[in-house]
Chain A
Amino acid sequence: MMEKRSFKWANLYLVFVFLLLYAPIAYLIYYSFNAGGTMNSFTGFTWEHYQAVFEDTRLIRIALDTLKLALSSALAATIIGTFGAIGIYYVKKRRTRNTLLSFNNILLVSPDVIIGASLLILFTMVGFQLGFTSVFLAHIAFSIPIVVLMVLPRLQEMNDSMVTAARDLGANSFQVLSRIILPSITPGILAGYFMAFTYSLDDFAVTFFVTGGGFSTLSVEIYSRARQGVSLEINALSTILFLFALGLVVGYYFIQQGLEKNKRKRTAVKDPTNHEKAVSPR
């Protein structure tokens, strides 16, 4: 009885957090239908800003490029960062490990302007043509540390005796990696991917400095429109992208649920980590 009531309060809290996080989004979406030109007083309903988006091929192209960049650079950063984290984890000396971690976090603490300017110097020094590739490399570069930061704790939680046991049973290092290490750190890897993706979408300063050849991202476009005023066209575009992402997330979830159900039917409990964890006393 007691528990039920406290659960309701708990839900209320979550509802509050949801409202907080979605309030500005709702605001943006609401004003994307405003016939008046600004995000101020709502004067009437219109689809005109959506029409403007569909007529603006340059903007659509930038949106597509932004997504492409975020998806792919986050993937690359996740792969490199995950193996980086595993590598750091297996460094024996604690001091070396800490040094590596400090170096890892330098890009997290450096303001974007510094990263952008340094990378610009770096790229032009080696005579690199600025464009998609340079932006892609830069995004990978500043996303790696957050991936490491997300994956490392999962490794520390992992039960080392599992690895030892697997080796004793004759598993080679690839098997150890794919059967034991990776499955037990999957949540960290996914979290890392999401964070890297978010970083890439959000970044303005670094992209600005290293882009060229007509390649642009939404952030750069929005910031450079600030002097003339960000038009509601951008709101409309953001609404479309947001709804698209929402659809993707919900769709992905239910598909995955469906798959999982099927899998569970076929193989009952086969997760070695769980089993091990349950019996090991710690």
Chain B
Amino acid sequence: MTKKPKVFLFVPYLLWLALFVIIPLFLILYQSFFDIHGQFTFGNIVEYFTSGTYLSMTLSSFFYAFLITLVTLVISYPAAYLLTRLKRKQLWMLLLILPTWINVLLKAYAFIGIFSQSGSVNDFLAFIGVGRQQILFTDASFLLVATYIEIPFMLLPIYNAIEEIHPSYVSASRDLGASQWETFRRVIFPLSLSGVRSGVQAVFIPSLSLFMLTRLIAGNRVITLGTAIEQHFLVTQNWGMGSTIGVVLIIIMVLIMLLTGERKKGAAK
């Protein structure tokens, strides 16, 4: 590569990195070595890896984050793909993002109303003769609401990636006799993978530490690491243990980044 374009433009970013990432990171790391009495200890890490509670929490966080990401992807990909073929696609895209601007807590309350025993969904089930079901506090309702919240974060990057694929590729593929499905499989899908990757990262990583919905919709049947951290920081004021879990989350994130990270440049092209 030749000269970089204007290095000084990169400076604010590096400044941000130092001030708001590196310094807090060290604060957290530092704190994770102290117990509630302010004594230096390795006990927090030891406790994390020996306690069944934390390990099972880690597993379930992973499991649910994986499911949420998967469901979000399955719903968002076709939607993003179909959107790019619409006439006023940009407008529709914006309209799909709009619901995210309403407060999450309010939307959660709305879902409680919709899914409750006397809610609209159960009214419908009773009407068609299925009978009322317990919907709230189940994995299904939790997944649905969590997915609902995350969809835009998956939709947008995928949409952008597909949108960027030049029409000439698609028409070339068609001219060469490829069917619609083949065109999709051989041309559109591989070229949209970069979008899928940033979508997965934008959904999976925050899902690991989801906490409010686990209580509101799942009634604490689902407990993630985020819940534990919140407890330690606020209720027990055991910032050491809270920080330790935070550090573990960060390590997991780095591993995920390595797994889903960019391949060697050029390989994808």
Contact = CB atoms under 8 A, between A and B. Distances in A.
B97 interface: yes
Interface in A1-49: 3, 7, 10-11, 13-14, 17-18, 20-25, 27-28, 31, 39-41
B20 A187 contact: no
Contact of A113 (B148, B151, B202, B230): B230
A98 interface: yes
Contacts of A234: 103, 106
Contacts of B103: 201-202, 218-219, 222, 234, 238
B94 A249 contact: yes
A84 B13 contact: yes
Interface string A47-81: 00000000000000000000000000000000111
Nearest to B27: A118
Contacts of B166: 274, 277-278
B194 A122 contact: no
A198 B101 contact: yes
Nearest to B155: A17
Given A108-B206, A198-B97, A150 B194 contact: no
A141 interface: yes
B160 interface: yes
Contacts of B261: 98, 101
B98 A242 contact: yes
Interface in B1-30: 1-7, 9-10, 12-14, 16-17, 19-25, 27-28
By CB atoms of chain A within 10 A, which of B28, B111, B151, B164 has the most?
Answer: B164
B6 A202 contact: no
A21 B85 CA distance: 20
Given A21-B151, A83-B10, A39 B16 contact: no
Contacts of A21: 96, 99, 148, 151
A253 B92 CA distance: 10
B90 interface: yes
Contacts of A174: 5-6
Contact of A191 (B83, B111, B157): B157
Interface in A176-191: 176-177, 181, 187-188, 191
Contact of B229 (A114, A191, A242): A114
A253 B94 CA distance: 9
A114 B228 CA distance: 12
B132 interface: no
B5 A27 contact: no
Given A39-B110, A80-B12, A118-B24, 18 more contacts: A10-B85, A104-B21, A110-B209, A111-B211, A141-B16, A149-B157, A153-B198, A164-B2, A167-B3, A173-B4, A173-B6, A177-B5, A187-B160, A195-B153, A241-B102, A253-B88, A253-B91, A282-B269
15 contacts: A11-B82, A24-B110, A25-B110, A41-B118, A84-B17, A104-B17, A105-B205, A108-B253, A111-B230, A119-B24, A122-B27, A144-B16, A153-B161, A191-B156, A222-B103
Which 6 residue pairs spanning A and B have beta carbons closest together? A84-B13, A87-B10, A24-B110, A118-B24, A153-B194, A141-B20
